[in-house]
Every structure is written in C-alpha cells, then in structure tokens.
Homo-oligomer: A and B are copies of this chain.
C-alpha cells in the first residue's frame, strides 16, 4: 500500500514542477518524497504531462536513463501570448498615462507581480530551447521582468549598474552614449558577477535609440560573453534606425500625440 494516493502524488508533482520551471527533477526525488515505486512515479508523470499539455500550460519533458527525471518547460502558446499582450497594450492606452513632456507612465504595470511574471514567461519562451547561462539587465525598471525571465529559464539574473560599488569588489566599467540624447554615461559590472564566456540574454523595459543595450553588449564583450538575444518590453517606433540591429520587442509604441491624448501601442508583429 503506497503512502499517498495517485491523486495526491499527481497534485504534488505538478506543484513542485510549477515551482521549478526548466529544471530536471529526478524520479528518485519524487520516489523518496512519496515513498512510492519509480514505476508508479513514471505513470504519475504521464498523467501530469497530459494535464499540463491539454490545458496549454506549457510542456513536460521526460529524461530517461538511470538519472532520469522530468522537467516543466513553461513555453506559452501563441494564442495566450497574443491575448495577454493585447490586454497589456489596452491597459497602457489609457490617456491618463500621458506624462508632461510626452512620456508614457507604465511603471505600475511592469512592477505588478502577476503581469511581469507572465511577461517574463513570454520572453523566456523564446530562449527555452537554447543554452543560456544568465539574463542580463540594466538597473532599474527592467529588473522585475528580467528576474521573471531568469526564473522561467532557471538561470541567475545579472544586474548592470550605473555606478560601481566598493562593496562588490573589482568592477568593469564601460562608457556608452544614449542614442537619443547623445549624453555619455557609464555602466559597471563586478568581475565576479559574470563568468567569462557565458551565454547571455539581455532584457530591458524600454528601447528608444538602443544606446543602453548597445552599452550592455559592449560590456558583455569585456566578459567574452555571447549574446544569444535581446528582448525589450516596449520599443518606440522612432527612431526606426536603432543602435542595435537584432532585438525582439513585445510591444511597439508610436510617438505619443500629447495634444490628441492618443496612445498607439500594440503587440509587435514580426
């Protein structure tokens, strides 16, 4: 007689997999946790796979062999992605969001945990089949979405800062030029924050001219890192020519028309 019923094991396996996206959990782990035979766990996992995939909650991959296990791959369906990005766009089209000077206030949206969790999952989906060692972002506003992307990829987050800190040891600092204001700024990363030769994904909240991301790419060169991709939440339509050639925006925004209170922002269509 097994200690837990099948129902209970299945529920618990789903909870554990959902808490550990993109990470292989061994059959042994479940077998010990539930005092159940590995053959029972194997059967449970088949049911788990069916549940997750039928309800379009992602994929479940099994790894066979002695050290076999199971992995929850949090890939999002096209339908869910498009629907969610349209919802977010609609929220951002509220004319009350227009700030003097022609800016869009969107901080509240990207600091809301459930929204940013899903945005991170959407970005991560793009890189789930690649070897990525970490997600890199620049402080401050991009941190929440970059952290959630890192969570779904199951890799560390690396945060580049505007100033180097004495509390972090030796740092590498590069200068960069903001694409729109032509002002020169610096960005820093402690040497111990990133292993040489890592594969990274760059995530940021907003891209106008592309100067910040270009700076991060330059900084990555100093760490001999390979940039596997650049994802941004919102890209402004203008300037059309950006300092970075390859980047993936989730949303695209036209120039704000402050007089007519029109905000044109929509999901990016490739």
Contacts and interface: CB of A to CB of B under 8 A. Distances in A.
B51 A8 contact: yes
Query: Would you call the interface of chain A mostly helix, strand, loop, or mixed?
Result: helix
Contacts of A190: 105, 107
A195 to B, nearest CB: 11
Interface stretch (A61-69, A164-172, A226-234): A164-172
B11 A47 contact: yes
Nearest to A150: B113
A269 interface: no
Contacts of A133: none
A57 B15 contact: yes
Interface in A1-47: 4, 6-8, 10-12, 14-15, 18-20, 23, 47
A73 interface: no
Interface in A139-177: 139-141, 143-144, 147-148, 150-151, 154-159, 161, 166-169
A113 B143 contact: no
Given A15-B14, A57-B15, A147 B8 contact: no
Interface in A96-118: 99-101, 103, 105, 107-108, 111-114, 116-117
A147 B148 CA distance: 10
Interface residues on A, range: 35 or more
Contact of A47 (B7, B155, B192): B7
Nearest to A98: B169
B113 A157 contact: yes
Contact of A140 (B6, B99, B140): B140
Interface of A: 4, 6-8, 10-12, 14-15, 18-20, 23, 47-48, 50-52, 54-55, 57, 99-101, 103, 105, 107-108, 111-114, 116-117, 139-141, 143-144, 147-148, 150-151, 154-159, 161, 166-169, 190, 192-193
